[in-house]
Structure 1
Amino acid sequence: YIVRHGKTMMNTLDRVQGWCDSPLTKEGIDVARYLGYGLSDINFRSAYCSDLRRTRQTTQIVLGAKGQDDIPVTELPGLREACFGSFEADFNHTMWYNAALYLHYTSKEDMIKAIMEKEIGYREVLDAIKVLDKMGMAENFSQVEARTQESLLEIAKKESQEDDANILVVSHGMSILAMLLSLGGDKLFKKPLDNAAVCKVTYQNGKFSVESMADMSYVEKGKIEAEKI
């Protein structure tokens, strides 16, 4: 179960948040809690998150809400969000607008529409951001894809040495897309990942299978459960 972190202060301020970090807002804490309630029927053997505070905080809240805060949690730097270089902490509109112009679109909205209609992909967008980054620190799509898939494979190989089990992985929006699109997620991708959205992936006989993308049903279920408490 691969999850995007809860909403953060920088998400709320509409700022670029890659390797820079900020804490969850009340809304982010609530959505992580709802997710925990919604996952109450799923027993996790272990959990993984990136080395950024927002995923660590989300993991703790999810596991606490479902009564599994005693299971081991491992931080993997390979699960962290894409680095956006000089665009870090800038307004999202600035980065996306510049990427749109570079890719010959007149607006961010036109570029996002092209992504949803699969005229282009996030590969082109991240590659454009890397070119536009004045610091030379931004990652291109292939770099993010390689390290996130390496981390996913590390988790799968380690956990598959024992009996089959459910594993919680908390990461970031762009990183999850880079990780899963080439593994079959592109066929299920219809919208960006909301905070606390779940992507379900199975690993069997050395192969990954993406079963769902951007699923908010667990959060919706958990919100109903929270209202009963």
Structure 2
Amino acid sequence: MNKYKKMQGWSDAPLTQQGIQDAIATGKRLLNQKFDVIYTSDLGRTLTTAKLIKEENIYRNETNIIPKQEFRETFFGSLDGSFSDYVYGMIAEKLNIEVSDIFKTLSLEEIADALKEVDKTKEAESQKEFEQRINKGVAEVLKDNKNSDSKVMIVTHGNVIRTIVNMVDSSIPVKQELKNSGVTTIEFTDGKGKVVGFNE
């Protein structure tokens, strides 16, 4: 669905061949990194990505994959699967701005809330609803990995990554296009996060 420029939230298209190659490349990049556990969204495309990354890791037999619904992509309601240009056109019309201004001038919250407004069912997640879900997942991960040297991987989606990074450090320009199978690194000490690498 990314290939066809469609909104892919909870709908779940399979990885393309390029997506598979990207995941394998990331696995090779991280092959010597030992992770205590790999968390992933419970959607098929992230589970596949996690398995491909893990398969390249030299510690693969010591690492479990745990799917968590909290790390799913944003739910776009009835707009899930729609062409992105169509959805952003509706948002621009509602807010009386140009489509090109959406990512230049609006915050993550304003974009998500506007999308909820143009969703006829009003079931799309607001940013507040989205953040509550993600925060629950992050809190559970931190609780389950209390050791100071714990190292975990979370395989998730673009908006989840943007939102976590934005909550940790709002100075980072998160509205840039994220690389498929890119790596973002966050260190947590006593529950406080520090972004040490973004979209690499």
Shared fold (TM-score, shorter chain, > 0.5) = yes
Is it true that 1:49 corresponds to 2:74 in the alignment? no
Give the counterpart letter for 2:76 in structure 1: F
The equivalences for 1:49-198 within 5 A come to 49-70=40-61, 71-107=63-99, 109-112=100-103, 114=104, 119-160=105-146, 162=147, 164-184=149-169, 186-189=170-173, 191-198=176-183
Separation of aligned partners in 2, 1:137 and 1:168 = 30
Q: Counterpart of 1:187 in 2: which secondary structure?
A: coil
What per-residue deviation string (whole Å, max 9, x for no partner) do you get for residues 139-190 of structure 1? 0111111111220121012111x45122110111112212220221x32225
Contact between 2:30 and 2:57, CA under 8 Å: does it hold in 1? yes
Secondary structure at 1:12's aligned position in 2? coil
Partner residue of 2:22? 31
Deviations 1:45-75 (A, max 9, x none): 1100011001100000001022343211111
Q: Deviation per CA, 1:75-119, whole angstroms, max 9, x where unpaired?
A: 110000000011111111111221222232222x2322x1xxxx3
* Residue type of the alignment partner of 1:134: K
Is the Cα–Cα contact under 8 Å of residues 144 and 179 in structure 1 kept in the other structure? Answer: no
TM-score, normalization: structure 1? 0.82
Question: What do you get for the CA RMSD once the two structures are aligned?
Answer: 1.5
Select between 47-56 and 98-107 the one with higher mean Cα deviation: 98-107
Cα deviation, residue 212, structure 1: 2.1
Tell me the amino acid that sits aligned with residue 213 of structure 1: F
Is the 1:36–1:62 Cα contact (8 Å) retained in structure 2? yes
Residues 32, 58 of structure 2: 8 Å contact kept: no
* Alpha-carbon distance in structure 1 between the residues aligned to 2:60 and 2:190: 30
Distance 1:183 1:31 in 2: 26
More RCO (CA 8 Å, sep 6+): 1
- Conservation of the 8 A alpha-carbon contact between 1:17 and 1:89: yes
* CA distance, structure 2, for counterparts of residue 103 and residue 165 of structure 1: 45
201-210 vs 22-31, greater mean Cα deviation: 201-210
Distance 1:192 1:146 in 2: 24
Question: What is the alpha-carbon distance in structure 1 between the residues aligned to residue 166 and residue 90 of structure 2?
Answer: 24
Consecutive unaligned residues of structure 1, counting only runs of 5 or more, are: 1-9, 216-229
Letter in 1 for 2:117: V
Runs of 4+ in 1 over 4 A off after TM superposition: none
Q: CA deviation at 1:31?
A: 0.2
Show CA shifts across 1:172-229 (max 9, x none): 1112212220221x322252312112211111122122222211xxxxxxxxxxxxxx
How many corresponding residue pairs?
198
Does the CA-based 8 Å contact 1:130-1:139 persist in structure 2? yes
Report if the CA contact (8 A) 1:188-1:212 is conserved: no
1:85 corresponds to which letter in structure 2?
A: G
TM-score by length of 2: 0.93
The match for 1:205 is 190
Structure 2: how far apart are the matches of 1:174 and 1:68?
A: 29
Counterpart secondary structure, 1:150: helix
